[in-house]
Amino acid sequence: MNEEKEILIKKLKAWGLPEKYWYVEEEDWDKKEVFKMINEEESYYFYGGAGTGKTMLACIIGKRLIRQGKHCLFITAPDFLGKIVAGFNFSSSYSSSEEVLEKYSKANYLILDDLGAERSSEFAIQQLYRLISYRERNLKPVIITSNLTLGEIAEKLSDRIASRIKGMCGERIIYFGKEDKRLLGKDDIERWKRRFWKGEEECLHM
């Protein structure tokens, strides 16, 4: 049993899910009705103010997929672009920017966090376009989180990107409001972690 849990945590780590949400479960999410409308195999666009739960919900869904044995990568848009640029600057066989693009384009499931938080140079827009259009053309689901509406994405990143997101997400464009729940200090990561291991000795060797 513990071995199973260790494997899950190793996958969450290897596939880039933020450590803060490794131990979070559906029961920690306070609007349970949301799970009735979530199909983890589909694309979603979560937008709204800071601290409204977009990344948390995306990670709960990502963890659901990973528990089902599926492959779900997580990256923020600024980190994605940072990796692409690093691939150009220090081109080694592993870190070349084309490999980075391919990894995130071809992953079966992708969480692209904080779209619109990057600096939108022509280069950045082109790389994001390549990522999003590849996924749209090849019917690969993506959960995108952003502080921007799709209208603002159209202005900042291009109509072509916004249109593809709209096409992929259809009805599943969800507004998270403005109330910053970070300020409520509801996270209890240590308790979540203990609950996960059910009081057993911490046995991760990572």
Ligand X SMILES: Nc1ncnc2c1ncn2[C@@H]1O[C@H](COP(=O)(O)OP(=O)(O)OP(=O)(O)O)[C@@H](O)[C@H]1O
Please, which residue, 36 or 186, has the CB nearer to ligand X?
186
Element (H, E) at 142: strand 142-146
By CB under 6 A, residue 178 contacts ligand X:
no
Burial 154-182 (b: 16+ CB within 10 A, else e): bebbbeebbbbbeebbeebbbebeeeebe
Burial of residue 79, with CB atoms counted within 10 A of its CB: 0-12 exposed, 13-18 middle, 19 or more buried: middle
Provide the sign of the torsion angle of the four alpha carbons 40, 46, 50, 51, taken in this order: negative
Q: Are strands 109-115 and 44-47 parallel, antiparallel or unpaired?
A: unpaired
Q: Does 76 bind Mg ion (CB under 5 A)?
A: no
- DSSP codes, 67-128: HTT--EEEEEHHHHHHHHHHHHHT--TTT-HHHHHHHHHH-SEEEEEEET-S---HHHHHHH
30 binds ligand X (CB under 6 A): yes
Contact 113, 143 (CB under 8 A): no
To ligand X, the closest distance from the beta carbon of 84 in angstroms equals: 21
- Choose the binding region for ligand X from 48-56, 61-69, 78-86, 153-161 (rule: CB under 6 A): 48-56
Among 43, 52, 55, 76, contact with Mg ion (rule: CB under 5 A): 55
Rounded least distance, CB 26 to Mg ion, Å: 18
Q: Which of 178, 182, 203, 204 binds ligand X (CB under 6 A)?
A: 182
Q: Which is nearer to ligand X, 159 or 179 (CB)?
A: 179
Q: Which of residues 63-102 bind ligand X (CB under 6 A)?
A: none
CB under 6 A: which stretch of 3-11, 52-60, 94-102, 161-169 binds ligand X? 52-60
- Which residue among 43, 55, 105, 127 contacts ligand X (CB under 6 A)? 55
Nearer to ligand X, 114 or 118 (CB): 114
Reference 28, options 203, 193, 202, 201; nearest CA is: 193
Q: Which residues bind ligand X (CB under 6 A)?
A: 28-31, 50-56, 114, 145, 147, 176, 181-182, 186-187
Q: Which residues bind Mg ion (CB under 5 A)?
A: 55
